[in-house]
Amino acid sequence: MDGEIVAFGGGSQGLVPGGEGYAALPIPAVIAREGERAAERFIEFFTANIRNPNTRMAYARAVYQFMAWADERKLPLERLNPIFISVYIEQLQQHMAPPSVKQHLAAIRMLFDYLVIGQVVPHNPAASVRGPKHVVKKGKTPVLKASQARQLLDSIDTSTIVGLRDRAVIATMVYSFARVGAVVAMNKEDYFQNGKRWWLRLHEKGGKRHEVPAHHNAEAYIDAYLEAAKSENWPKKTPLFRTISRERAITEARMTRTDVLRMVKRRAEDAGLPDSTCCHTFRATGITAYLENGGTIENAQAIAAHESPRTTKLYDRTSDEITLDEIERILI
């Protein structure tokens, strides 16, 4: 259903685009009681105002949870004020991590901003509410050592098209620091030759088009996959990384982020690697390996397409070994 125009009626239900399609969601009772204009504005917030599918679904979960909370307490939209929002945020902090609480507050605040602009409510009750303090200097993404990443790539049986594809997908993530969403979004034309080198064109968050040279290993793995898939006749605007049929034949369907996550989990288990290994692991692994070999934060930031070097630093685990060596100096 991707790309369809969705109409809404009756103020009772709408379709919200999800990460990989549309999801039918009921209008919360708190919104539905305000009439059709409020219901339409509520759905517009998700469909017209938020372009990133991951953000859309995360914000939808947060907003629906809050609306259910308000409905349980029989709070109409016009009675919601900063005190009620603060109470709700305090309750969230009892069982949620600060980043999750801050995301929930951001979703509520953005929704009410949209309702204010649409003249559904006169003011934003979440505008003055502060979220919990949260300072992060080191990310929690699980990271593999360079030797473990090499072990994973070498453990894949490349005698089949499945193995060749999986190795190419993992190599693209680890050697370009790309998010899995950008990798699965690649079309045939996004792996292209520029002079003597092959390049990767990645469509990252916020609509950013980001081009990076293909590492020679990534280039070799992608070439092997495309050759085995007999891709010479693939149209440019068709998926680069495709699903495999039950007959073990390449299809025309694009791999999804869920497909890749399942594949990564399976490959990591087969290679004897931690079960915490996930798609984002390869972004952190690539950045750490790059910095360990003399790369700079500034260049890592450019390759990863981060807005700030502070974000890139969250993926840098080069200090882990240094800290361990230093702590062992405590000879007691």
Q: What is the pLDDT of residues 95-124, one digit of tens each?
A: 988 889 999 999 999 999 999 999 999 999
Q: Which of 110, 154, 156, 120 shows the shortest CA–CA distance to 266? A: 156
Residue 330 is predicted with a pLDDT of: 60
Structure-token pair, residue 226: 């495309």
Residue 302 is predicted with a pLDDT of: 74
Residue 310 is predicted with a pLDDT of: 66
Measure the CA dihedral 66/69/74/80, to 10°: -40
Per-residue pLDDT at 210 exceeds 90: no
Per-residue pLDDT at 12 exceeds 80: no
Q: With left for phi above 0 and alpha for psi between -120 and 50, is residue 274 left, alpha or beta?
A: beta
Overall average pLDDT of the 253-272 stretch: 95
Residue 327 makes CB contacts below 8 A (sequence gap 6+) with none
Overall average pLDDT of the 236-262 stretch: 94
Residue 15 is predicted with a pLDDT of: 47
Q: Rounded mean pLDDT of the chain?
A: 84
Of all residues in the chain, the percent with pLDDT exceeding 90 is: 58
Overall average pLDDT of the 170-196 stretch: 92
